[in-house]
Chains A and B, each alone.
Chain A
């Protein structure tokens, strides 16, 4: 896995450097904070540190078959022979490339095979689609899927023999990844000469590769997916299933057929996931014969069409050639010949990046010229621009949200700690300068301490009661909002189903054949997406404004502990709740089946127009209800995460102050008891030490708070302005 070669520095653009800087700072801040907080708050910090260590950015590379996804990833990791590629659709399994993450068990690669049940589903005929056709027309056998399934069965048997039975549900582990190993697992192997290629591909569910080097500073997982629009429908389904889980999506198009209907459909799904997380890469510009005129046309065509299809979305568009980048990495005489053979070489020559005389054997003999050419070629390949775009997108992705949330939580805790420490210091100072002569005051002092302790206990009860109350209120709000959201979605589906029924009955009763009716699946999905988004926003607003109302109450509580004016949160606005994915909407349904023969069989079984109408209405309701449920569930999860993290941390901070003061009072009372004894001289010494330590602690704490607040400010301002500025 030697990704990088010589001349590393010129291949501009490390990805995620800023986020990694933040993460590292937060990790060390967390360690410092853990030393400052009360023991009861430590699990909270430990949790956050654990999350920080686990944090990664998942980048999915998606697109139609043969758009050059694997080649692009190879260019990204600068190893042209890393992921196997071919001229026919090649990638069959989801391949996860892990960067900057320790591999479990120290393995370099793990290939997970399908479970017996998953295999049975596939082998019985493309699981999902088979299931869909079954729901539409029970007992109707679609030949194509049968054919595919049969092909899959015989091929797997032929490739694996008896071994096959034992492999299901298992995994293969490799300590070292030899070249060629991947080809056995993630390539279709169709039409390849060697039988070893693709040997396990029919039963490989996913591959996990742990890479030592790569262009990423922040821990990342690159997900290579089988192409969509594959006539071998099974692979398409595998890709669809994998789409929901990524933080950033790189949608790869080919310059020759940019943004076809299938690409737009894919983007619609992506946009459902989250439009802020997409970058569109027009790959294979080296395929164009006349780059000078065609490239600007293609790019503006893609930009215009994106603007038309997704108004106001501002999806960044970059273009390039993974092929050029890969040729640059292994640049030699043959690479030069390959480049020259393409019509696109004229562009490189005209742009002055290549000199015709340099590409001959004589020119290439000079190491300087070679290096210069490969650098230019890499620059022309567009890879640096892609890195830049991905880096920018990462700044708006979920990991950044988590970083921001942890920064805020840490800052809140640090401020609470600071207030506690300051109060402690005051208590220490006020504990009477250690004048042993002040005997008469003894009882008075003890009484004050006891009173304060009672007060603290009262505040503690208050905190707990208030926390329980707020948590209950939040739970109620979340429950209500989920119900409301469900009702809105349900109503949308019902209205749509009724309308479709009426349209169908009307069509049929006019004596027109049922095939003139088609289900407006896109329309309903769009409506549901809009309802879901606006419903979610309303609910999120209610939650955040409730949280905003809770904050002053918390401050009141804190004030009753440590009467200080500067406790007010400098970033008054609460953290927005990130919109969850609407991936369930992209799931393929019975109603999306286009093949007319299935529908023909369906219609032929309906006795009358009214029955047909009722059947369709019932079908729409039945198909979309689980999707609505799942959306509501996803929204609920986000709400729940918000309420637990924010409330947990806010009250955690409160409790931390209360615990600190309680501990300090108990210490003082213990001291006092001790001071009554004859060997009390030492106590004076202790007290002075304690004063010094506490002062130092406060100073450290102040520094930490300041640092965390700066970090929070940095995330809020720098990353936010960037997200606005994306072209």
Chain B
């Protein structure tokens, strides 16, 4: 997991905790808090590693290598009859899911018998292993349609036997899986011990890479049995367990990066929605006319943009300038001096952002900005129904946090900071 994504999760957590601490009973904020909570959860959720492969392709041995313990029963004739989920828990436990869907704890004195018992639909193995905090492993039975196992897979591992790696039937099954499986997939060639020389290993690796180009992120050769075998070659790297874990970690960190990027976008939208919700306050009578004029002004700007009579940066600059004027009128002293605005705005506009060229996309961007600014102006034009100054202060704080969260987009970064700080610094 990359450092950035870890930091992002931490930041989210801090913001959420501060919001919770504001002690405000507000529906919009509650939605925001629970939304943030869910995102955090999603970011912290262990990645699901699904292990697929034909009969006796060494799936269970690969699961074993990942976990790093000789815990799962392996035997030569296909013996994983049901899917086995391996996850983290402080206390080791084995559960069977029977055909009624009931979960029954089955680890007793003779767990090996229980593990291969056919009367369960699925098995769950919980182990107190640190690695499992970040990953959940699904060891699958050989199946004609493994598609059923990959629905919620983050990483897919396809096991193939080194001495007969990548056959037509494997290719066909793999090709039939949803295309997204290939994005985070590893091809693991098991039973490496069947290859006698380094040349053989390199032939097989080359062949696999060339035949499966574009279908897997990496090819790893492993020898599952040597890990638990005392007579095995003394070279500690031989089993390939380290290579395997490293390859899985690389995929995991890519996934986490993508995940946090996605989460960032969601947080931004969530925060924006929240402060728009805050803005639906009662408007002071004298402010109504100003707001109507502001809205007419933005409409006109958007029309000009649509007719291509103005550019996106120009439109934004005009919006920001107008915003400064209206904000100052609604609550004098909010914007301290014209120079602040123009300087910040131009700095924001100078940021290396590729402005959308298409009119509709540009219009949408400006529209978003306009509605954000409208939200801010409405907040300025409302009169707080809270007479209690502490509650009001709490609200101020919450707004500031939400605005910070909403603030993560590059071009609006400076802009948002400026507006957020001006709101926070304002003394009512």
Q: Please list the residues of chain A having a beta carbon within 8 angstroms of any beta carbon in chain B.
A: 64-67, 86-88, 190-192, 228-231, 233, 236, 254-258, 260-262, 284, 287-290, 294, 297-298, 301, 338, 341-343, 346, 594-596
Q: Assess the B164–A64 pair: CB atoms within 8 A.
A: yes
| 23 interchain pairs, CB-CB under 8 A | A65-B167, A66-B163, A87-B163, A87-B195, A87-B200, A88-B203, A88-B204, A191-B203, A191-B210, A229-B168, A231-B167, A231-B170, A231-B171, A255-B76, A257-B55, A257-B161, A262-B168, A262-B169, A289-B229, A294-B76, A343-B225, A343-B229, A595-B175
Complex Cα gap A148–B169 (Å): 17
Chain B's closest residue to A290 (CB) is: B76
Q: Assess the B163–A254 pair: CB atoms within 8 A.
A: yes
Q: Assess the B164–A343 pair: CB atoms within 8 A.
A: no
Q: Assess the B204–A87 pair: CB atoms within 8 A.
A: yes
1/0 per residue B51-88: CB within 8 Å of A? 00011110000000000000000011100000000000
Interface size on B, residues (CB 8 A): 34
Q: Which of B56, B163, B167, B195 gathers most chain A CB within 10 Å? A: B167
Q: Does B176 interact with chain A (Cβ within 8 Å)?
A: yes
Q: Assess the A284–B163 pair: CB atoms within 8 A.
A: yes
Q: Does B172 interact with chain A (Cβ within 8 Å)?
A: yes
Chain A's closest residue to B176 (CB) is: A596
Q: Assess the A254–B77 pair: CB atoms within 8 A.
A: no
- On chain A, the residues within 8 Å of B211 by CB distance are 231
Q: Assess the B55–A260 pair: CB atoms within 8 A.
A: yes
Complex Cα gap A64–B229 (Å): 30
Q: Which of B206-251 contact A (CB under 8 A)?
A: 206-207, 210-211, 225, 229, 231
Q: Assess the A230–B172 pair: CB atoms within 8 A.
A: no
Complex Cα gap A297–B75 (Å): 10
Q: Does B196 interact with chain A (Cβ within 8 Å)?
A: yes
Q: Which of A261, A298, A343 gathers most chain B CB within 10 Å? A: A343
Q: Assess the B194–A287 pair: CB atoms within 8 A.
A: yes
Complex Cα gap A297–B76 (Å): 8
Q: Assess the B207–A288 pair: CB atoms within 8 A.
A: no
Asked whether A257 and B168 contact (CB < 8 A) given A66-B163, A87-B203, A301-B77, the answer is no
Extra contacts besides A88-B207, A297-B77 (4): CB < 8 Å: A229-B168, A229-B169, A287-B163, A343-B231
B168 to chain A, nearest CB (A): 5
- On chain A, the residues within 8 Å of B172 by CB distance are 594-595
- Identify whether the interface residues of A are mostly helix, strand, loop, or mixed: loop
Chain B's closest residue to A229 (CB) is: B167
Q: Assess the B75–A64 pair: CB atoms within 8 A.
A: no
Q: Assess the B229–A341 pair: CB atoms within 8 A.
A: no
Chain A's closest residue to B200 (CB) is: A87
- On chain A, the residues within 8 Å of B272 by CB distance are none
Query: Within the complex, which residue of B169, B194, B200 is in contact with A260, where a contact is CB–CB below 8 Å?
Result: B169
Chain A's closest residue to B206 (CB) is: A191
Asked whether A257 and B196 contact (CB < 8 A) given A230-B168, A343-B229, the answer is no
Chain B's closest residue to A295 (CB) is: B76
Q: Assess the A191–B161 pair: CB atoms within 8 A.
A: no
Complex Cα gap A86–B225 (Å): 24
Asked whether A343 and B193 contact (CB < 8 A) given A87-B163, A231-B166, A231-B171, the answer is yes
- On chain B, the residues within 8 Å of A190 by CB distance are 207, 210
- On chain A, the residues within 8 Å of B57 by CB distance are 257
A263 to chain B, nearest CB (A): 10
Q: Assess the B164–A65 pair: CB atoms within 8 A.
A: yes
Q: Does B276 interact with chain A (Cβ within 8 Å)?
A: no
Q: Assess the B167–A64 pair: CB atoms within 8 A.
A: yes
Chain A's closest residue to B171 (CB) is: A231
A234 to chain B, nearest CB (A): 11
Complex Cα gap A346–B176 (Å): 41
Chain B's closest residue to A300 (CB) is: B77
Chain A's closest residue to B57 (CB) is: A257
- On chain B, the residues within 8 Å of A289 by CB distance are 193, 225, 229
Chain B's closest residue to A289 (CB) is: B225
- On chain A, the residues within 8 Å of B54 by CB distance are 257, 260
Q: Which of B136-190 contact A (CB under 8 A)?
A: 161, 163-164, 166-172, 175-176
Q: Which of B75, B169, B206, B211 gathers most chain A CB within 10 Å? A: B169
Q: Assess the A338–B167 pair: CB atoms within 8 A.
A: no
Q: Does B191 interact with chain A (Cβ within 8 Å)?
A: yes
Asked whether A342 and B193 contact (CB < 8 A) given A230-B168, A233-B168, the answer is yes
B240 to chain A, nearest CB (A): 16
B72 to chain A, nearest CB (A): 16
Query: Within the complex, which residue of A66, A294, A338, A346 is in contact with B196, where a contact is CB–CB below 8 Å?
Result: A338
A626 to chain B, nearest CB (A): 25
Task: List the 8 closest pairs (A to B, CB-CB), nearest first.
Answer: A66-B164, A229-B167, A294-B76, A87-B200, A231-B171, A88-B207, A229-B168, A191-B206
1/0 per residue B91-109: CB within 8 Å of A? 0000000000000000000
Chain A's closest residue to B224 (CB) is: A289
A708 to chain B, nearest CB (A): 51
Q: Assess the B77–A298 pair: CB atoms within 8 A.
A: yes
Chain B's closest residue to A235 (CB) is: B168
Q: Assess the B163–A231 pair: CB atoms within 8 A.
A: no
- On chain B, the residues within 8 Å of A595 by CB distance are 172, 175
- On chain A, the residues within 8 Å of B191 by CB distance are 256, 287
- On chain A, the residues within 8 Å of B161 by CB distance are 256-257
Chain B's closest residue to A342 (CB) is: B193
Query: Within the complex, which residue of A256, A261, A298, A301 is in contact with B169, where a contact is CB–CB below 8 Å?
Result: A261
B171 to chain A, nearest CB (A): 4
Q: Which of B260-291 contact A (CB under 8 A)?
A: none
- On chain A, the residues within 8 Å of B169 by CB distance are 229, 260-262
A586 to chain B, nearest CB (A): 16
Complex Cα gap A255–B195 (Å): 15
Complex Cα gap A258–B54 (Å): 11
Complex Cα gap A357–B164 (Å): 34
